[in-house]
């Protein structure tokens, strides 16, 4: 009778597939994790250059989905902010850029406000809500439409929009969160932002 240990030793490592996992860290660094045969070998982690792949077709599809939280308040990614057709179709007049290191492509066509916010749990996101809300109000008062964006339109920009609804409309965190999620289902404030907004008292 085989012992379990013998059975495990006799298991052919060749039957195990190599694993290759893409990881994007909160700071936007793209990493590639490779596990060698059998999962026993050392794990290699290498930093990917933008656009490199792991034998897969690179996903070049742009995220041009724009969530309308209010008629004057839109939420999206940098792809939407860099696509003139999308901006014109949504009648955008103002752009609130809360990404780190993302350029504003059309300064002669839109009014921009840029705050370089890092998507890290310990960034004090609530300290930016007041200034961002003033810019959103400015767009509204000028009968404009403001697009709030970061890199992916998932954490920083959604947190700012949630904070705006809490500050200006007196919504609870749960109401503000669910309204923003309804407009743009992919939102996911990082755990630190989520907790800060939960306890945010405008």
- Kindly list the catalytic residues: 150
Composition of the chain by helix, strand, coil, percent to 5: 35, 20, 45
CB neighbours of 121 closer than 8 A, spacing ≥ 6? 26, 190, 191, 192, 193
Q: What is the DSSP string of 140-172?
A: HHTT--EEEE-SSSSSHHHHHHHHHHHHHH---
Token pair of 200, please? 């945010």
Q: What whole-number distance in Å separates Cα of residue 168 and Cα of residue 191?
A: 23
Our measurement of the distance from residue 167's CA atom to the centroid of its chain's CA atoms, rounded to an integer in Å, reads: 22
């Amino acid at each position: 009778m085989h012992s379990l240990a013998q059975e495990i030793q006799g298991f052919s490592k060749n039957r195990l597939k190599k694993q290759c996992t893409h990881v994007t860290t909160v700071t936007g660094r793209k990493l590639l994790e490779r596990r060698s045969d059998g999962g026993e070998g050392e794990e290699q982690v290498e930093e990917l250059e933008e656009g490199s792949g792991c034998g897969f077709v690179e996903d070049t599809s742009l995220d041009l989905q724009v969530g309308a939280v209010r008629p004057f308040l839109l939420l999206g990614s940098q792809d939407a902010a860099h696509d003139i057709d999308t901006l014109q179709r949504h009648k955008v007049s103002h752009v609130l850029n809360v990404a780190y290191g993302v350029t504003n492509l059309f300064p002669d066509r839109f009014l921009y406000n840029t705050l370089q916010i890092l998507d890290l749990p310990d960034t004090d996101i609530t300290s930016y809500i007041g200034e961002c809300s003033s810019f959103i109000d400015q767009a509204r008062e000028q009968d404009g439409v403001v697009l709030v964006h970061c890199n992916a339109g998932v954490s920083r920009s959604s947190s700012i929009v949630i904070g705006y609804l809490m500050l200006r409309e007196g919504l609870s965190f749960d109401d503000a969160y669910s309204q923003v999620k309804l407009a743009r289902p992919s939102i996911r404030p990082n755990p630190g932002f989520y907790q800060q907004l939960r306890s945010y008292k405008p």
